[in-house]
Amino acid sequence: MKRARPLLCWFFLLASGLAAGAQDFGFGFGAADPPASSGGGLGASVGGEVRAAVIAYPGDFSGGPGKVSLGNIFSGALKFSAGASGVEAVIALSLTPVFDGAGSPVALDEAYLRGRFGSFTLEAGLLTLTWGKADSLGPLDVINPLDAADLTGLSGLDDFASLKIPRPLLHGTYHIGSWTKVEGVFVPWYQPAPLPAADSRWFPPAMKVMIDMLPSNTAPSYPGALDSLEYAQGGVRFTTTLGSADLGFQYYYGRLATPAAILSFNASYTLDSISFEYNPYHQVGLDYAGVIAGFNLRVEGALNLTADLKGDDGQVYNPHAAWSAGFDRTLPGDIMLNLQGSGTARLFNDKLGGNPADIEAGTDPTATRIMAALSRSFFRGELEVRLAGIYEIEAEDFLLAPGLTWTKGDISLFFFAAFFGGDREGQFGQYRDNHFLKLGLRTVF
């Protein structure tokens, strides 16, 4: 809690300072539960979530009770917001218990300030944004990386947004009329998604094999000064509605989320060192959403241009095209189907053949992923049963995730399971020993 106190003080000081600018929109009934006022017309409110869940890995049970851990049981979140017309400040904290005095029980999730100046809105701070129209894992949603260091953070395959890692950024939005807007974002530094701890069951086995090959006194090297302007990123996005179609266009300059692992060998052809680089790239992308014959369609396409414009630089990823297309539709029996395909296609793939040391040598030129979810609600939405799955075509691996949620008022009982399978070199197949079950209670306030 020690970290939380100065944050809260900062927040309320900030809130007090904002009070002078408070105005009223003069429209609507306002909140049903009016926020407590801190004076000067500024309203402050607190919300959050309390979650109690146990996580079990069926594979551990064969080792006896000494091998079974049910996890932290408790986790929570607190969100403080203060604002009035034209200005809003938010601080969101996540809470997890700490054992053995390691780490902090409080972590900063989001902290930002939002100001509205007529048609222009400016946000600054630590926050998450969503770009693109895909339901999840779309190629245009490039700003916040996903925290895949522990997949038990998922409560369903429609929950990838909860894995997003907030990033420090400036985000401006200019509204042109009622249906068109232009956004700009500037991310002053780069922070890759965290790797799981080396002794974690979620540490990628392929990476472990590589590191084990290193001489005993050598560690992988990572790029330094990621907080320098050299690693700054930014982009612009234009969205509009034309008739019954929602359209978007964006340009983004950033760093690929997947690091390029550059291996060097000594004279005796044994591995000497591994260094990781995050390749810069330019992205140009388009997206579309519309309803055709009752199908809610969403399509994204992007061209990701790295510095390897000829495809012959073995230490840089080749440029590639990325896509996503999907829909949802209510089937007979009130069953909801959500189906989405996504993938990438490497450009200049023929240039890899001449360089066996290319970081992409021996890998498939395309990667295609199919995600499907069937869900149905019972008892007028109180109980939702869901079966979702992801299959990677080239990698031939999969993740199957059944779940159910019973919601009564503000409290939910949920069950979620994840079963990994297929080729052990695939993104999901590598976790074939990590099937897990999750059962918990959750309430928001």
Partner 1 sequence: MKRSAFFLGVFVLAAALAGAQDGAAIIAASRSSMDAQTVSTRSRLVITARNGSTTERVIDQYSKKGPQGDRMIIQFQSPASVRGTRFLTMENGTGGTDQWIFLPSLGRTRRIAADDSGGNFMGTDMSYDDMAAASRDSGADTHRIVREEVYQGVPCYVIESIPKDGSYQYSKTLSWIAKENNSSLRIEMFDRRGAVAKVMESSGFREVSGRLTATVVRISTVSAGTSTTVYTDIIRYDEPIPEGVFTLTYLETGVPG
| Residues contributing to the site for partner 1 (CB under 8 A) | 25, 27-29, 31-33, 47, 85, 116, 119, 121, 128-130, 133, 161-162, 175, 177-179, 181, 241, 243-244, 246, 289-291, 294-296, 329-330, 334, 377, 379-382, 407-410, 412, 444-445
Residue 32 CB, nearest approach to partner 1 (Å)? 4
Token representation of residue 159 = 């929950």
- Choose among 342, 335, 361: nearest CA to 350: 361
Closest among 202, 212, 211, 208 to 431, alpha carbons compared: 202
**SS3 label, residue 80:** strand
- Give min distance, CB of 195 to partner 1, in A: 26
Q: Tokens 């890998």 identify what position?
A: 363
Length of the chain: 445
Rounded Cα distance, 271 and 343, in Å: 32
Helix (H, G, I), strand (E, B) or coil at 9: helix
CB of 130 to partner 1, least distance (A): 4
Distance CA 162, CA 145 (A): 11
Task: Assess contact for 355 and 361: CB atoms under 8 A.
Answer: yes
Q: How far is the CB of 165 from partner 1 (least distance, A)?
A: 14
Return the number of the residue (191 or 407) whose C-beta is nearest partner 1: 407
CB of 315 to partner 1, least distance (A): 36
Q: How far is the CB of 445 from partner 1 (least distance, A)?
A: 5
Closest CB to partner 1 among residues 37, 85: 85
**Residue entry with tokens 């029996």:** 333
Q: Kindly state the smallest distance separating residue 253's Cβ from partner 1, in Å.
A: 22
414 near 402, Cβ under 8 Å? Answer: no
Beta strands in 295-435 (DSSP E): 295-306, 320-331, 335-346, 366-378, 383-392, 397-408, 411-422
Residue number with CB closer to partner 1 (39 or 409)? 409
User: What phi and psi, each to the nearest 5 degrees, are found at residue 73?
Assistant: 65, -60
CB of 180 to partner 1, least distance (A): 9
Taking the least distance from each CB to partner 1, the nearer of 239 and 430 is 239
Q: Which is nearer to partner 1, 160 or 231 (CB)?
A: 160
* Cβ proximity to partner 1, 36 vs 219, nearer residue: 36
- Tell me the three-class secondary structure of 235-269, residue by residue: EEEEEEEECCEEEEEEEEEEECCCCEEEEEECCCC
Retrieve residue 82's tokens: 């203060």
Nearer to partner 1, 366 or 377 (CB): 377
Cα separations in angstroms, 407 against 33, 50, 157, 202, 376:
21, 14, 18, 31, 14
